[in-house]
C-alpha cells in the first residue's frame, strides 16, 4: 500500500501560490481541491508525479477521514477502485484538477473572503441541485 503522493510541478506551484494568498496550508487547500474536483461528473485525467512536485503523506491529506475520501472517490467513479489505483493515482488526478479549479475560483473571487463566500455558495447550490 502506498502512503506517499507526489504532485506535478504545476500543482505544487499553484498550492504554494494559494497558500501565500490565503494563509491556508497546502493540506487544507488540497482537501478543498478534492471537493471541487468531485463536483465535476467527468473522471479526471491521470497525472504523472514530477520531481519538483510537493510530496504528501496520505495521512496529512486525508487524516482520520481517509475512508470518507475513498468512498467519495469510488462513488464519483461509479465503481469499486482497488487500493493500488486509488492512492496515489486517482487521488492525485482529483487533486490536480481540483487545484486548477480552486486557482480559477480564487482568481475570479479576487480575495480570500470572497473565495470562501463563493465556495460556500457553490456547495449550497450543489446540495440543492441534488435534492
In the chain, the domains with their CATH numbers are 4-130 (1.10.1220.160)
Strand partners, 57: 4
**pLDDT band with cut points at 50, 70 and 90 for residue 73:** very high
| Helical segments of 1-131, H only | 9-22, 26-39, 58-62, 66-77, 83-85, 91-109, 112-130
pTM > 0.85: yes or no: yes
**pLDDT band with cut points at 50, 70 and 90 for residue 127:** low
C-alpha cell at 16: 504554494
Q: Give the tens place of pLDDT for each residue, 86-117.
A: 999 999 999 999 999 999 999 999 999 999 99
CB of 102 closer than 8 Å to CB of 18: yes
Amino acid at each position: 500500500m502506498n502512503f506517499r503522493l507526489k504532485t506535478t510541478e504545476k500543482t505544487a506551484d499553484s498550492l504554494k501560490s494559494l497558500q501565500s494568498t490565503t494563509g491556508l496550508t497546502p493540506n487544507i487547500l488540497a482537501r478543498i481541491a478534492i471537493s471541487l474536483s468531485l463536483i465535476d461528473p467527468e473522471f479526471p485525467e491521470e497525472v504523472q508525479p514530477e520531481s519538483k512536485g510537493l510530496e504528501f503523506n496520505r495521512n496529512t491529506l486525508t487524516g482520520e477521514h481517509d475512508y470518507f475520501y475513498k468512498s467519495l472517490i469510488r462513488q464519483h467513479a461509479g465503481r469499486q477502485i482497488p487500493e493500488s489505483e486509488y492512492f496515489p493515482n486517482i487521488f492525485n488526478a482529483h487533486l490536480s484538477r481540483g487545484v486548477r479549479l480552486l486557482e480559477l475560483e480564487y482568481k475570479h473571487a479576487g480575495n480570500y473572503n470572497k473565495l470562501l463566500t463563493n465556495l460556500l455558495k457553490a456547495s449550497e447550490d450543489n446540495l440543492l441541485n441534488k435534492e
